[in-house]
Structure 1
Amino acid sequence: MKVDSHQHFWEYDPKRQDWISEDMKRIRRNFLPGDLFPLLQDAKIDGCIAVQAEESLRETDFLIDLAQQHEWILGVVGWADLGSDGLEEVLENYSENEHLVGFREVLQSKDPRYMLREEFIRGIHKLGEKGYCYDLLTFPQHLEATLELVKKCPDQRFVIDHLSKPAIKSGAWKEWKKRISPLAERELVWCKLSGMVTEADWQKWTYEDLFPFLEISMELFGPERLMFGSDWPVCLVAGEYEQVFRVIEDFSSQLSTSEQDLIWGQTALEFYQIS
C-alpha cells in the first residue's frame, strides 16, 4: 500500500489560517478531500494521513469527520493542548475513535524551551499511555531541545516533520546534519521526507538542490524510519503534487524494492499503527 503520510485539509478562513501570507496566496482557498483524491489516484497512492494545520479541537474534530466520510483518509494527526489540566478528559473523549492516530502542535512558532515545560512532557507521557504518536514540527534551532524532549520520553514514538525544515534554499546542510544526527540515533524517532520544496527556492528549485538532504536522511534514518509525505496543499506554493511525488520517486529508484516499499507506505503504516 502506498501512503502519503502528511497532508492537510481546510476550509479557508483568513483569521484561522493567518499564517498563509500574501506570497502564498495560491493556497488561500478551501482544500478538501475532493481536491486531493484525483491527485492520489494519478500518483497511484492508496491513502493518506491528514495532519492538523490549526491549533484547536475544532480542527481535530473536522479532520476526524472527513476521515469518517472517506476511507482512504487512513488516519488523523490532531491537536490538543498537552499542557492542559483537562488533557486526560480530552483523550478519553477520543479514546473510541479509530481514526485519530496522533497529535501535533506548531512547535516551530514557539521558543525551543516550550516543549521542555514539565506540563508539556507530562502531556507527551499521557499520549504514549493512550497509544498515540507525536509529530514534531520544528526548525533546526529546535533540535537540541527536541533531543532533550525525546530523552525525557524514551518510550514515545516521534516523527520529525519535513526533516525539521533545513535551509535547503541556501544549501546549508552541515549544521542541520549535526543537529539532527543525535535524534536519528534514537530508536523511536522517525522522519518524514516532506515539506522540502517549500524550504527551497520556490521559483527555481531543482532535484539537485534537494538530493543532499535526501541522501543524509537516508544515511541517518534508513528506509525503515523514513516515509513519503507531500505536505499538500502547502507544497503548491513551490510545486505541483506530481512534482513533489516525482522527487521521492526519482530518489527512491536507486533503492531495492523492499526499501522503496518502506518509504512509500510500510513505514508510515507501522509508525501510525494502521493495519
Structure 2
Amino acid sequence: MIIDTHLHLIYRDRLSYPWLQDVPPLDADFTYERYISEAARLGISSVLHMEVDVRPDDIPAETRMVEDLSREPGSLLRGVIASCRPEDPGFASYLETQQANPFVKGFRRVLHVVPDDVSEGALFRENIKRLSGTSLTFDLCMLPHQIDKANALIDLAPDVTFVLDHCGVPDIKGHGYDVWKTGITEIAKRDNVLVKISGIPAYGDLDNWTLEDLKPYFEHTISAFGFGRAIWGSDWPVCTLGGGLSTWVATTQALLHGCTVEEKNRLFSGNARQLWQLG
C-alpha cells in the first residue's frame, strides 16, 4: 500500500491561489473527489495534504478545509503539512495554535518563489529553531542553487526533521544533473533530512520525458539518502503536467525494479508512517 505524502487540493470557490494565474493548466478545481477516483485504484491508502501557497490570510482556512474533508466517511486524509511564514512576527503564536492540533504534521514555506535572502533573515531562522522538540517537520522546496541556504537552516536546527521536496527540484529538461548532484550529495550528509521522491516528471520535457530521463536523478537520490530516509509523494495535480497520477505511480514502480520488498515498503509507506505516526 502507498502513503501519498504530497497531495495538493485546489478549491477556488473557497480559497485564493494567486500563483495559479501563471500556470493555466492548473488554474482549475482539483478536488478530493477528483483525486480519490484515481488514487483508490492505485493502492493509495493514506494521504497527507501539502499546502498550496494560498493567499496568506487564507492559510488557517486551508487547514480547516482539509480537516473537514478528512471527517467525511471513508476519507484517506490523515493530516496536513500546513503553510507558514517564519519571516513574520506572528509565527510564534501561529506555531502554538497549530501545535495543539494533532492533524497538523508539519509546515512548509515555498522558498524558490521569494527572494533568496528570506530564509537568511534572523527572525526566519529563529522561528525555524522553534520547531525543535515539537515533532513537527519542515518541508524544503528549493532550487539546486539554493541548497547552501537549505543546509544553513538545517544546521541551525539539528533537532528538527526536514524533508527535501521533489528530489531537490532538479532541472531535468535543462540537463542540470551535475549541479544538482553536488547539492544532493551535500545535503544528504545531514542526518535530520529526508528526501521526498515526488514531482520530478514536471521538471523534465513535459511532452516527451522517458524513464531513462528520470533514472539518474532517482538513482543518485537513493544512493545519497538510502531507502531509510526516502518517502513518496504524488505532487498531484502538478504531476498531471507530466502524465498524471497513474503514470507517476507506474514510473516509480519501474524505477524500483530490482529493489527488495523491504526497500519498496519503506519508500511507499513505512518511513512516512514512522515519521508522522500515521496509523
User: TM-score w.r.t. structure 2 length?
Assistant: 0.92
Question: How large is the Cα RMSD of the aligned pairs?
Answer: 1.9
Conservation of the 8 A alpha-carbon contact between 1:83 and 1:120: yes
Is residue 97 of structure 1 aligned with residue 101 of structure 2? Answer: yes
Q: Determine if the alignment matches structure 1 residue 10 to structure 2 residue 10.
A: yes
> Match of 2:110?
106
CA separation in 2, counterparts of 1:64 and 1:102? 14
Equivalent positions of 1:66-105 (< 5 A) are 66-69=69-72, 71-105=75-109
Contact persistence 1:67–1:76 (CA under 8 A): no
SS of the equivalent of 1:253 reads coil
Give the aligned length: 274
Q: Is the 8 A contact 2:87 2:118 kept in 1?
A: no
Task: Identify which range, 239-248 or 94-103, moves more after superposition.
Answer: 94-103
Q: Name the % identity.
A: 26
1:141 positional shift: 1.3
When structure 1 is superposed on structure 2, of 122-131 and 100-109 the one drifting more is 122-131
Q: Distance in 2 between matches of 1:175 and 1:91?
A: 35
**What residue number does 1:43 align with?**
42
Distance across 1 between alignment mates of 2:185 and 2:277: 25
> Do the aligned partners of residues 241 and 172 (structure 1) sit closer, same or farther apart at CA in structure 2, a change above 3 Å counting?
same
Contact 2:51-2:83 within 8 A present in 1 as well = yes
Q: TM-score, normalised by structure 1?
A: 0.93
Q: CA offsets per residue over residues 120-179 of structure 1, 9 Å max, x none? A: 111112223322100011111110111111111111100011112111112221111111
CA distance in 2, matches of 1:142, 1:10: 28
The answer to whether structure 1 residue 20 and structure 2 residue 23 are counterparts is no
Which residue is 2:161 aligned to? Answer: 157
- Alpha-carbon displacement from aligned partner over 1:61-98 (angstroms, at most 9, x marks no partner): 32333234364112200012223333232222233322
The Cα shift of 1:237 comes to 1.6
Moved over 4 A (4+): none
* Superposed CA offset, 1:172-207 (max 9, x none): 211111112111011110111111011000111111
DSSP-derived class of the 1:103 partner: strand
1:119 maps to 2:118: no
Where does structure 1 lack aligned partners over 5 or more consecutive residues? none
SS of equivalent residue, structure 2 residue 20: coil
Aligned residue number for residue 54 of structure 1: 53
1:222-252: CA deviation from partner (whole Å, max 9, x where unpaired): 1111111110011112212110111111111
8 Å Cα contact 2:184/2:221 also seen in 1: no
**Aligned pairs for 1:114-153 within 5 A:** 114-153=118-157
Residue 128 of structure 1 contacts residue 156 of structure 1 at CA under 8 Å; is this kept in 2?
A: yes
Task: Report SS of the residue matched to 1:48.
Answer: strand
List alignment gaps of at least 5 residues for structure 2.
none
DSSP 3-state at the match of 2:218? helix
Residues 112 and 141 in structure 1, CA contact (< 8 A), matched pair in contact too: no
Secondary structure of residue in 2 paired with 1:109? coil
How many angstroms does 1:257 deviate by?
A: 0.5
Amino acid across the alignment from 2:20: I
Give 3-state SS (helix, strand or coil) of 2:231's partner: strand
SS of residue paired to 2:163: strand
